[in-house]
Structure 1
Amino acid sequence: MESSESMRNKCAACFRQFIRMEHLVDHMRTTYHSVHEPTCGVCKKHCRSFESLREHLIGPLPKQECKNLFNIRGCKFCLAILDSPYALRIHQDRCQLSGVNYGIAARLANLGLRDSLTIDNGFSRGPQVVALACKMVGAGSDGSLDLCARVCIIDENENMIYHTYVKPPIPVTNYRYETTGIRPEYLRDATPLRQVQRRIQDFLFNGEPMWKIRSPKGGKARILVGHGLDHDLDRLQVEYPAIMIRDTAKYPPLMKTSKLSNSLKYLTQAYLGYDIQTGIQDPYEDCVATMRLYMRMRNQAHRRENYPLASDPQNRNNFASWRQSELERMSPEEMLATSRSDYYCWCLDSE
């Protein structure tokens, strides 16, 4: 039987219980619970990531009440709880996506250049979103040094707007054909790396100077989606502001419970419902997968807040140590209402 004191010191988000109220305040100060965390549709428990929520619902030691209901009315892809088994069937027809249908356009891309990158005329509404993926070949004595040999960019509607093979600046010692499908003749007359770099960087900035980019809203620069983008942009020698990057490898709700990255292959299978990267890998397929994951995360319906981040000036003192006495007089629910996220939720891109 829980004591009234332990119930008073129970976190309203993750349900952890503390002996003293000051310990609960310390917990809230460091966890950044918020409306943007994945939340169980049954008991309303907040989880740091969707992997944590999956373990809560169907892991080796799930909460039994939540597991029982999830088995009947839960979507295994987005982890939502539907109103009825019938509603679940209708929902999953939309939630489970099929693999990429390449069609003629994608097959033609293998023949060489596709360049539909255009500078925006300024009449589009909201920031444009594009996804980028690269395929690497190897250099160096053991072939372990990554060189970008193929790059692809798509728009929000999964249209391929850029594709080219890239001529590496140093000799290739391993084409990694089993996964890249790249042969020496594909790179012999390919686009030089410096030319690819300038083309992509100009397109992403869209006429916006680097110093002017302070927010993904209101400017002309494009939001860039991808998986492991730090590595791709480094190999392309492209610099781009972190505030405009949406990386599925580093987005907290899509990471492992250990805070390590999941592979794009796993994320696509678990959250979109189909398989990628079987055999020779195509960067177009990777672009589509990352764009779909981004859209799924962006389209989450979270409560709107005027200042949603803990780093916003209006929220920086919410859990300041000099407010300790005031915080200890709050209820757990009041503290949760005061708390803000420590990461930028992609749902904010849709506001």
Structure 2
Amino acid sequence: MHGCRNKCGGCYRQFNKKEHLVEHMRTSYHSVHEPTCGICNKHCRSFDSLREHLIGPLPKQECKNIFSICGCRFCLTILESPNARRIHQERCQFSNGLTARMAVLGLRDNPTIDYTSSRSPRVVALSCKMVGGGSDGSLDLCARVCITDESENVIFHTYVKPTLPITNYRYETTGIRPENIRDAMPLKQAQRKIKEFLCYGEPMWKIRPRSGKARILVGHGLDSHLDCLQLEYSSFMIRDTAEYPPLMKTSKLSNSLKYLTQAYLGYDIHVGMQDPYEDCVTTMRLYKRMRNQKHKTDAYPLASDTHNTNNYASWRQSELESMSEDELLNLSGSDYYCWCLDSVP
């Protein structure tokens, strides 16, 4: 006869000994910010994991049955009825329509940063398109950059002249030709304009999260974009859809922007030539979808907060082992910054 099993109040894993459950809680970082099944309340490490729980090859059958009738396949929310689901999903799915919008915007004619049209936006998205340098054309060089605001307006767009010779224009995906680069803005000038705009008068060392004037920067794979711009920016202010745990694969690897757009926004991108405006709009939409999640108020939302340091300290072991599953869960804190906190005043 098996002994009493100890079940995690978050992910429902079971352990033979309470001490093993406590050790699991030390390292799992379950919190109100994790993607959670709207049916059985199971905590999942990512939306990819939650999707597998609901509609994967081996889903929880009861949850799958309800989700198939009342679940939104984009945000994974459970609605009250099939009709409520239909109405919600029509709003939840974005239409693309960016090709026509790009033509109207005249992206190729905006080489200066427009500070006025966006009323000093707090959040902006950035994307670059790279051409190839080096003998084999594999070195990424920034040749085009775009910045947009939350309303999908273009704040800055320009072709960029790299400091190294271009050996491969990668025309099939970038659409960039030599004549686009001939009289383009020098990289150093573009870099200076972007840095001034992002910092908004604050020195880099003084930038702090959720205070001051510096802008939140949204993008996908921003490390490579900032590298090719030879630009550093405060990690506090970066929101990268390639590095955000809820949007990453179950294996903790990054999902492509193409996959994220299809899965969570419901349309296709990168069909033919790729435009940085399209990437800016898409990453901003993903960011806003994550930011707009309604999570319970958490007094100390990060496990790294000093208030949470001793929650699972070894000297509390006997006390922890006497706690219920729910009490242990309530001690946990997230180990990443949830973007819903950006909407908190």
Partner of 1:131: 125
Partner of 2:177: 183
Q: Distance in 1 between matches of 2:163 and 2:223?
A: 19
Q: Counterpart amino acid of 1:14?
A: C
Summarize deviations over 1:254-275 as a string: whole Å, max 9, x none.
0001000000000000000000
Q: Distance in 2 between matches of 1:283 and 1:56?
A: 34
Summarize deviations over 1:271-301 as a string: whole Å, max 9, x none.
0000000000000000000000000000000
Matched, 1:344 2:330: no
Q: SS where residue 160 of structure 2 aligns? A: strand
Partner of 1:39: 36
Q: Summarize the Cα distance change of 1:180–1:230 in structure 2 as closer, same or farther, 3 Å threshold.
A: same
Structure 1 position 208, deviation (Å): 1.2
Could you tell me whether the CA contact under 8 Å between 1:114 and 1:164 is conserved in 2? yes
Q: Summarize the Cα distance change of 1:92–1:120 in structure 2 as closer, same or farther, 3 Å threshold.
A: closer
Q: Distance in 1 between matches of 2:49 and 2:148?
A: 31
Structure 1 position 108, deviation (Å): 5.2
Structure 1 position 214, deviation (Å): 2.2
Structure 1 position 317, deviation (Å): 0.8
TM-score using structure 1 length: 0.94
Partner of 1:172: 166
Q: SS where residue 218 of structure 2 aligns? A: strand
Summarize deviations over 1:208-245 as a string: whole Å, max 9, x none.
11222121x12100000000000000100111011100
2:15 to 7, 11, 18: 18
| Count of aligned positions | 344
Partner of 1:291: 284
Partner of 1:279: 272
Counterparts of 1:37-116 in structure 2, within 5 Å, are 37-103=34-100, 106=103, 109-116=106-113
Q: Distance in 2 between matches of 1:244 and 1:42?
A: 34
Q: SS where residue 98 of structure 2 aligns? A: coil
2:311 to 306, 310, 318: 318
Gapped regions of structure 1 (runs ≥ 5): none
Q: Counterpart amino acid of 1:86?
A: N
Could you tell me whether the CA contact under 8 Å between 1:109 and 1:163 is conserved in 2? no
Q: SS where residue 242 of structure 2 aligns? A: coil
Q: Counterpart amino acid of 1:183?
A: R
Q: Counterpart amino acid of 2:269?
A: I
Could you tell me whether the CA contact under 8 Å between 1:75 and 1:92 is conserved in 2? yes
Q: Counterpart amino acid of 1:286?
A: D
Q: Distance in 2 between matches of 1:95 and 1:108?
A: 25
Could you tell me whether the CA contact under 8 Å between 2:115 and 2:155 is conserved in 1? no
Partner of 2:320: 327
Q: Distance in 2 between matches of 1:120 and 1:275?
A: 29
Could you tell me whether the CA contact under 8 Å between 2:108 and 2:157 is conserved in 1? no
Partner of 1:230: 223
TM-score using structure 2 length: 0.96
Q: CA RMSD in A?
A: 1.8
Seq. identity, %: 71
Could you tell me whether the CA contact under 8 Å between 1:100 and 1:288 is conserved in 2? no
Q: Summarize the Cα distance change of 1:78–1:194 in structure 2 as closer, same or farther, 3 Å threshold.
A: same
Could you tell me whether the CA contact under 8 Å between 1:37 and 1:48 is conserved in 2? yes
Q: Counterpart amino acid of 1:214?
A: R
Gapped regions of structure 2 (runs ≥ 5): none
